[in-house]
Every structure is written in C-alpha cells, then in structure tokens.
Amino acid sequence: MNFKRPPKMPPQPPENANERALQQAVFALEDGRLKEAEWLAADVLTRRPTEPRALQIFGCALLRQGNAEAAIAPLKQAARRTHTPEIETQYAMALQQAGYAEKALERLESAIKRRPPFPPAFLLYSSLLAELERRDEAIDVLKHGLALRPNVAELSVLLGDILMMRGDCAAAGAAYKEGLAHAPRQVHALFGLAFALHFEGDFAQAAEIFQRIVTISPADAGARIGLGVCLLELGQPDAAFDSFRTAARSNAEMYGDALRTLSASRGGRFWLRPSDAERFLRGEKP
C-alpha cells in the first residue's frame, strides 16, 4: 500500500521565541536603540499581528524617532486590546504630536479614569489643556491626580507651573513646596519656588532657594543670575555682582542674559560702552 508523504511544513519558531524577542525589544527601547526595538517588534508582528506588547513597542519606537503619524495605528490597536492607562497615554501622545489635539484629549480623559491611576496620563492631559489655555481645567485635572497619588512630585510641580501662568504666586509656591516634600532636590521645583517667592517680594527666602540650586548644580548659571537679582534687592551688591560674573563666564548666551538682567535690575549697573560692561563682568578694573 502506497502512502503519500505529507507536505513539508515550514519550520515553526520555538514557543518562547516571541517572548525572547519582546524582552530584547524592551531592553533596546529602554536603552535608546530605537531602530533595533522597532525591528524586533515588527518581527514578532509578522507572526502575531495582534500581539499587544509588540504593537506597543513598535508604536513607541516610531514615536520616539519622531514618526508620530506612523505610531498612531499600532498604539491605537494596542490600546483597544488592553485598555491600560499606560498604552492609552502613549496613544494620546502620538495623537498630540501628530497634531490631533482634540482626539488626544479624548483618549486622556479615558486614561485618567483607569485604575490604578497612571500619573503620566494626568501630566500629559493637564499639559495639553494648559497649552490650549484651558488652565482652570488643567488645574482641576492635577488636583484630581494629586488626590489619588499625593506623593507624585511631578504633579505638584506642574500644578505650580500652571498656577504661576495664572499669576497666583502664593498658591504656586505652596504647590512647589509640596513637590519638594517628595523630591527635595528637584531643580525645577526649586526654581519655581524661588521665582514665586521673588514675585511675592520675599527676596531673602528666594535667595536661599537659589543658593540651594547652586549647591546642587554649581554650573547652573540661571540660578546664579536669580541669586544675583535677589542679593541686589537685599542690598548686597558685591555678592550680587560676583554671582552675575560667575554666570557670565559660563558661555556667550549666559553672558548676554547676565548683562541684560543686571542692567534691568534695581540696584544694578548700566554701561554706555559694551567694553566697560565686559570688563566689569570679567572682574577687571575699568
């Protein structure tokens, strides 16, 4: 009796081949090897076109390479299959960067309702609302996020930023202080608090905060300029001028910032000849 040999089946990848590829893709994405992550995820998708993790990695790799338009489709598909706030936020980010702000807001409205709460969703949602000058809504979103995750410093700091945009320095200062309670060395929060105190007229406290920034980051020329302004207000011109000089030595751009700020500050200096200003900021005698 004759038996026909069955047709030869194509070799199948090992059961864990996709999992290994996905793990490698995650490591590549975290390490900034975006093309490699894109290729690895795409390879998995040739075998499993609806694999949510592969779709997510593929979309995120495209997004981080600046190709937001192409990232929308895979992230949309991943979001539909998982309904996780992380992927919904990444999908919204692709929509935002591709210019679909209203659609991004719709996705973020959904993302902030997911549990457990995902702080980046609240951050992106409020940032986009603030960009659209819907600041009251942005503040409400951040307060809602802080009610759920009060220990996330970034939420408090962004709240401070938006309150400063609205001109509410006292409330902004309180928000920055709350952020610093959870992240004492966060320079953005320290800068925000220093400026809030400065605008409130508390130059002594503002100077202390600028000095903290300089201690954390000695090369921060912006903090040295802010410190110089406060020291002038406090009647300490010599220390103020030293701070401006240190900032001016950083680079040409900071030299210009230091000169403009010093010239505009109360108790500062003004020169008719640029050469005189340059000598002063270099600490040379006229």
Judged by average pLDDT, the poorest of 78-82, 259-263, 280-284 is 280-284
Is the link from the previous residue into 7 a cis peptide, with omega within 30 of 0?
no
Is residue 6 very low, low, confident or very high in pLDDT (cuts 50, 70, 90)? very low
- DSSP secondary structure string for all residues of 220-261: -HHHHHHHHHHHHHTT-HHHHHHHHHHHHTT-HHHHHHHHHH
Is residue 278 pLDDT above 90, yes or no? Answer: no
| C-beta of residue 179 within 8 angstroms of C-beta of residue 154 | yes
Cα radius of gyration (the chain): 27
Higher-confidence position of 212 and 268: 212
Q: How confident is the model at residue 73 (pLDDT cuts 50, 70, 90)?
A: very high
| Lowest mean per-residue pLDDT among 47-56, 193-202, 243-252 | 243-252
How far is 275 from 147, CA to CA, in rounded Å? 55
pLDDT of 259: 78
Cβ atoms within 10 A of the Cβ of 3, count?
A: 5
| Residue 134: predicted pLDDT | 96
For 117, counting Cβ atoms within 10 Å of its Cβ (0-12 exposed, 13-18 middle, 19+ buried), the class is middle
**Which class is domain 201-286?**
mainly alpha
9 class by beta-carbon count within 10 Å (0-12 exposed, 13-18 middle, 19+ buried) = exposed
Is pLDDT of 156 > 60? yes
List the chain domain ranges: 201-286
Average pLDDT over residues 24-31: 94
Q: Say what the pLDDT of residue 260 is.
A: 81
**Tell me, what's the pLDDT at 63?**
97
| Tokens 């995820």 belong to residue | 41
Amino acid residing at 5: R
